Amino acid sequence: MERISSLQNSRIKNIVKLSKAKERKAQNLFILEGARELMLALSAGYTIDSVFICPELFEKTDYPRVLDTLSDNIKYEVSQQVFEKIAYREGSDGLITLAKPKKHTLDDLNLNNNPFIIILEAVEKPGNLGAILRSADAAKVDAVIICDPLTDIYNPNAIRSSVGCIFTVPTAVCSSEEARMWLKENKIKSYAAELKASNWYHEEDYTQPSAIVMGTEADGLTSFWLDNADRRIKIPMRGKIDSLNVSVSTAVITFEAMRQRGF
């Protein structure tokens, strides 16, 4: 296994470059950090390009066998100084992996007879996307559909904040029009979250095939979804601030749907 101790090593410089969406797209690679995240990516069938291991940190991992199935010729040992240069989070267990992204199309989604879907319009903050994916995994929703995204779903911060749920939640990326047509074809009723809606979210029936549509914190949903959704819903606000974080709002509505569905 090759050891890298220089911050000027070309592979290390390239990892730094991959923090930019443009580079990720050009190289068809993305970064994920952590042994658990690598385990989830492997379970989801992702192709691994290379793994960078800091032995001093990796010896403390809860997943010591995660590297067993990987070829030695894609493993690189790095010094702790080098690892700190390429790491994205505190308390890391010493693994940085480069992997090839998958295509996330609507055709790839396999639905059951009564699906529940989360639709995100123009999501722009990686942290919000990651948090929503965590909620989606916890609720075991059928899919998250990301329409007209303003952030790359393989942004390292999205992967970090999702704690690897990007690899566990069926996800599609498409335009809003494509998502609208897909909902119609699959006979899924849509609920657009809006502060000025007249319908309380908890008074709706989500026991049928359903999709909630969530907008950005700054601007909410565009007129496209407000005009084309089947229903508009809102969450009661009792304080002086009339807006929840979009990831919290998504979780509130999602788990009401799960309560109604009995699981």
With a cut of 80, say whether residue 240 has pLDDT above it.
no
Helices 126-139 and 246-261 cross at an angle (nearest 10°) of: 10
Domain assignments of the chain as residue spans, ordered by start? 2-99, 106-261
With a cut of 80, say whether residue 243 has pLDDT above it.
no
**DSSP annotation string for 56-125:** HHHTT-S-TTTTTTS-GGGEEEE-HHHHHHH--STT--SEEEEE------GGG----SS-EEEEEES---
The length of the chain, given as a count of residues: 263
Fill in the amino acid letter for 29: L
Q: Please list the residues that pair with 159 across neighbouring strands.
A: none
Q: What is the pLDDT of residues 107-140, one digit of tens each?
A: 999 999 999 999 999 998 999 999 999 999 999 9
Q: Give pTM, 2 decimals.
A: 0.93
Output the six-digit token pair for 18.
Answer: 């991959």
With a cut of 90, say whether residue 219 has pLDDT above it.
no
- Whether 164 and 34 have beta carbons less than 8 Å apart is answered as yes
With a cut of 70, say whether residue 54 has pLDDT above it.
yes
Secondary structure of residue 251 in the 3-state scheme: helix
Please choose, from the candidates 96, 138, 98, the residue with its C-alpha nearest in 3D space to the C-alpha of residue 118: 138
Mean pLDDT of the chain: 95
Alpha-carbon dihedral sign for residues 25, 29, 31, 32: positive
- Whether 159 and 215 have beta carbons less than 8 Å apart is answered as no
Span of 23-37, 170-184, 241-255 with lowest mean pLDDT: 241-255
Confidence label for 218 from pLDDT (cuts 50, 70 and 90): confident
Residues 43-72, mean pLDDT to the nearest whole number: 96
Span of 62-66, 122-126, 184-188, 241-245 with lowest mean pLDDT: 241-245
- Whether 186 and 110 have beta carbons less than 8 Å apart is answered as no
With a cut of 80, say whether residue 242 has pLDDT above it.
no
Task: Report the alpha-carbon distance of residue 126 to residue 173 in Å, rounded.
Answer: 15
Output the six-digit token pair for 193.
Answer: 């979250």
Q: What is the pLDDT of residues 72-115, one digit of tens each?
A: 999 999 999 999 999 988 889 999 999 999 999 999 999 999 99
Fold of 2-99: 60s Ribosomal Protein L30; Chain: A; (3.30.1330)
| Side-chain half-sphere exposure of 213, counting CA atoms within 13 A | 28
Fold of 106-261: Alpha/beta knot (3.40.1280)
Same fold, 2-99 and 106-261: no
